[in-house]
Structure 1
């Protein structure tokens, strides 16, 4: 909370500050604060009405579903499967480089994307080039 809000929220401090202002200034401040409070009350009321309307609509939809013999969970199951079918699967990239893993002795491949494998990294540090590992 800012210092100004702390002052406005403390009656003793507010009275001390009010003694330094003229009555006209205090009335002007009161009018502005009243307008702000009214605006906030209207916003809170509108939000409450929207919330009540949404709850009423939900209840109506549940009644309609119950009348048709449909469970709400059935609707959610239907949307989950449709989302899965809409996803595009990325096609794996073909490998560009081939190297032998020193620890296991296996022959492995790398697409050239992501972190450089340790086997290729060690070879590069020893003076080899990426072209030495290229699959031809």
Structure 2
């Protein structure tokens, strides 16, 4: 590794050096990832698999949104999944003597 006299460099030269070092680090990390991916694919292939079959992707982890369980009796566009804070129209209906089952879909 070469010794660089940082105190002799101008601000512009220091910023360029910083930018170049950042790129070098990113390129190094990408090469390491590619090498690790190639090794992992080789091991998966050795056992008769494709790496994608063994690793969960973000699409596989995607959360499913539960369906609405309750609907406003007069405005069917207003729904509630039964999670979190009760919407005002549910609270008002319960205060008026209705039961939660009265709003069930």
TM-score, normalised via structure 1 length: 0.41
Aligned length in residues: 72
Structure that is richer in helix per residue? 1
Q: Distance in 1 between matches of 2:59 and 2:23?
A: 39
Give the equivalent residue in structure 2 for 1:90. Answer: 67
Larger Rg, first or second structure (1 or 2): 1
Structure 2: gaps (5+ residues): 1-8, 80-101
The answer to whether structure 1 residue 69 and structure 2 residue 48 are counterparts is: yes
Greater relative contact order (Cα < 8 A, sep 6+) = 2
Residue in structure 1 matched with residue 31 of structure 2 by the alignment: 52
| RMSD of aligned alpha carbons | 3.3
- 1:80 Cα deviation after fit: 8.0
Q: Distance in 1 between matches of 2:67 and 2:38?
A: 41
Residue-by-residue CA offset, 1:33-65 (whole Å, 9 max, x unaligned) = 111111111111111101100101110110110
Residue 111, structure 1, aligned to residue 76, structure 2: yes
Query: Which ranges in structure 1 are unaligned for 5 or more consecutive residues?
Result: 1-29, 98-109, 115-134
Q: Deviations over 1:76-116 (max 9, x none)?
A: 6x6589647x625223324513xxxxxxxxxxxx43628xx
